[in-house]
Chains A and B, each alone.
Chain A
Amino acid sequence: MNLPIEAYLVVSTLLFFIGVFGFIARKNLIGILMSVELILNAVNINFVVFNRFLYPNELEGMIYSLFVIVVAAAESAVAIAIIINVYRKLKNISVESIESLRN
């Protein structure tokens, strides 16, 4: 199966903008977190695709995408921990309700 590089990039771009839209538009913290994951995955696709098409004999792109997955996992763990705490305190996980640092 020999799809052209553009097809992969279109998918990753779509994924990226879906993530961006979700990050901006969602009010739910979990939703925002998931959007961030989408953005990261779009990046991962790019890493892998460019690695495959530009430097087929190297592995750096693959390795970087693994890094990103690991970091994203860690980040999700921390974020979900925060969200759970927020939920315990506010009974609510809307971004707009978190404003105690504001004033």
Chain B
Amino acid sequence: MDTVKLLAPIVLALPFLMFFVLGLLGNKMKPNVAGILGTCGLSIVAIVSYFIAISYFWGFGRVGEEYSQEILFNLDWLKMSETLPGLTIKIGFLLDPISAMMLVVISTVSLMVHIYSMGYMHGEEGFQRYYAVLSLFTFAMMGLVIATNIFQMYIFWELVGVSSFLLISFYFIKPSAVAAAKKAFIVTRFADMFFLIGILILSYYTETFQFLDLTAVSGDHATLVHDRMCGEEFFGFLPAISTAMFLIFLGGAGKSAMFPFHIWLPDAMEGPTPASALIHAATMVVAGVFLVARMFPVYFFEAADVLTLIGYIGAFTSLFAAVIACVQTDIKRVLAFSTISQIAYMFVALGVSGYTSEHEACLGYTSSMWHLFTHAMFKACLFMGAGCIIHAVHSNEMSAMGNLAKKHMTITHITFLVSCLAIAGIPPFSGFFSKDEILVAAANKDTVLYVCQAFVAGLTAFYMFRLYFRIFWWNENESYKHHAPHEAPKNMTVPLIVLSIFTCFMWIEKFFPFFPDKITADRKTLDLEFDSVIAGASVLVALVGIGLAYWLYKEKNDKPDAIASKVKCLYISASHRFYIDEIYLFVTRNIIFGGICKAIAWFDRHVIDGFMDMLGWTARESASGIRDVQSGNLQKYALGYILGVIIIAFFVFCSL
């Protein structure tokens, strides 16, 4: 415990230091030195994170049948109020099962990405800058998950947003990358605004930011929130708790790319692929899930309606994204939509979850977190695999690929296949277990959600194997004659192997004993039972999906095109992502920019400023009007004088 307390600050301080060193001095270093420095720094962080997680789960964390919540340090950063000590932003370290798990996820994926990037980004201009931003991101993400208070989370929330912006716009000469970065930042910031308002409402009533106070549960209530906010109304007609919690969820929905904020994630693929793997697949995009999980007692006890809504939004998004993923041709876009769909899965799981660990009521919560973990591993592996492929064929488009299995890309091929099997939910790969638990939880709570998610599972299997067959099978591509694809260097394949080891053997508790029994909403341990009916059904659905993909894409043929032309309407609208981007573009460009902004700017220049100019004009015109009176003409003066005398005399006589 003492050692952990001593080591804990490293998790934040070291990446921050790395960011400063690489950011300020990076340009003076050789690229490799910067890369190695960053990677070494992150290795230390990873070791410390593993040490903390292990000693928490098997050491001081476990008190009887329950895991404790430990605050390792908590420094005052800014007092928001002189009178209410709860309203203090602190920078601290809250260690509980989910944050310990997140430490493992972030440090693992981040370390793998650091190593992988040494090969992938080799020779890129701005290599040092890339590593500096990666360090910034790791710092921010660590700070986010270990936050002791909601405001600390918001701070790091914004920081991950900006590091995401900087990484997407890494190739800043490309206009599409710049546009994507802008879009990502503005959309998530729009959602963050709701998050902020939610925090403000919540903290106004509860007078605290601290998670431990907010999520304290006794009996059937999240005590503090219940006492302070129950029956309160916001704006006179909105129930305060639900409003606040819904707004906070919207913040999470923005980061996690839930409908209707999903539009930024596919475009974010303009960034370097390893950065996509880290930020837009494994870690940052699950921040929303983490946020809901962090506030789960409040959602469950005090805002059950919002929690149900979260489940449905998740279900809709997962279906929506899965359909789009089926028709995309850019391999990174397919993975992006798959990410949206899988994160939505996690939200569904939270939406159907209960609180106590008795009778597996909180299975949804557990499976959501578990899916977060497994998804981070296999999705990062998929992205990095895609990176190797892009590296080999110099294109993101499926049409430039095909038959790569025979092109000596064995490691990439195998690890990609393993990850695809995992995401499709084929045992014994990790995705099967986590997804299966989600389906069990959904089946227990809500049949509609279960059917929907089971269908999405089939779709997932289909589009992932469409991707797989299209890349590795199909037929030989013409362009290979000029440039034969080759396997990536070792520093790119080793991370793939490590991540697929996680994916293959997660189920063996001896090796990967973190989950899932240790992560529950009430922090008590859980005994998982295996539901063979649902498991069988989901494997069957997945196999149907894979079979369909095999039938359509195992070799070059026109079946896919034929099917596409049969459902042309659906196909076209899905490949245009159901025109959501166009709607956004219309609203922002034509209504907000063209309408509101232009109108206000015109109003300002012509009405407000015009009024001021008119004042000046009036003064000048009236002055030039009366200045002729001062003509210098003696006789006019005399006339004026006489008239004046006559008028005065007139009044004098009248008054007599």
* Interface residue ranges, A against B (CB under 8 Å): 20, 23-25, 32, 95-96, 99, 101-102
Contact = CB atoms under 8 A, between A and B. Distances in A.
B638 interface: yes
Contacts of B639: 24
A24 B632 contact: no
Contact of A102 (B632, B635, B642): B632
Q: Which 4 A-B pairs have the closest CB atoms?
A: A102-B632, A24-B639, A24-B635, A24-B638
A81 to B, nearest CB: 18
A101 to B, nearest CB: 8
Interface residues of B, number: 7
Contacts of A99: 632
A89 B551 CA distance: 116
A13 to B, nearest CB: 13
B642 A96 contact: no
Contacts of A20: 638, 642
A99 B636 CA distance: 14
A25 B632 CA distance: 16
B630 to A, nearest CB: 10
17 contacts: A20-B638, A20-B642, A23-B635, A23-B638, A24-B635, A24-B638, A24-B639, A24-B642, A25-B635, A32-B635, A95-B633, A95-B634, A95-B635, A96-B633, A99-B632, A101-B632, A102-B632
Interface in B238-291: none
Contacts of A24: 635, 638-639, 642
B493 to A, nearest CB: 92
Contacts of A96: 633
A95 B637 CA distance: 13
Contacts of A102: 632
Contacts of B632: 99, 101-102
Interface in B614-639: 632-635, 638-639
Interface in B361-396: none
A15 to B, nearest CB: 15
A25 B634 CA distance: 11
A92 to B, nearest CB: 16
B394 to A, nearest CB: 80
Contacts of A101: 632
A76 to B, nearest CB: 17
A24 B638 CA distance: 7
Nearest to B632: A102
B224 to A, nearest CB: 84
Contacts of B635: 23-25, 32, 95
A16 to B, nearest CB: 10
A96 B635 CA distance: 10
Given A20-B642, A24-B639, A32-B635, 8 more contacts: A20-B638, A23-B638, A24-B638, A24-B642, A25-B635, A95-B634, A95-B635, A102-B632
Nearest to A21: B642
Nearest to A27: B635
Contacts of B638: 20, 23-24
A20 B635 CA distance: 10
A23 B635 CA distance: 7
Nearest to A17: B642
A88 to B, nearest CB: 20
Nearest to A26: B635
A46 to B, nearest CB: 16
Nearest to A23: B638
Nearest to B637: A24
With most chain A CB atoms within 10 A of its CB, the pick from B633, B635, B639, B642 is: B635
Contacts of B642: 20, 24
Contacts of A32: 635
A20 B642 CA distance: 8
B583 to A, nearest CB: 68
Nearest to A99: B632
A25 B642 CA distance: 13
B197 to A, nearest CB: 67
A89 B207 CA distance: 93
Interface string B634-656: 11001100100000000000000
Contacts of A95: 633-635
A101 B632 CA distance: 9
B641 to A, nearest CB: 10
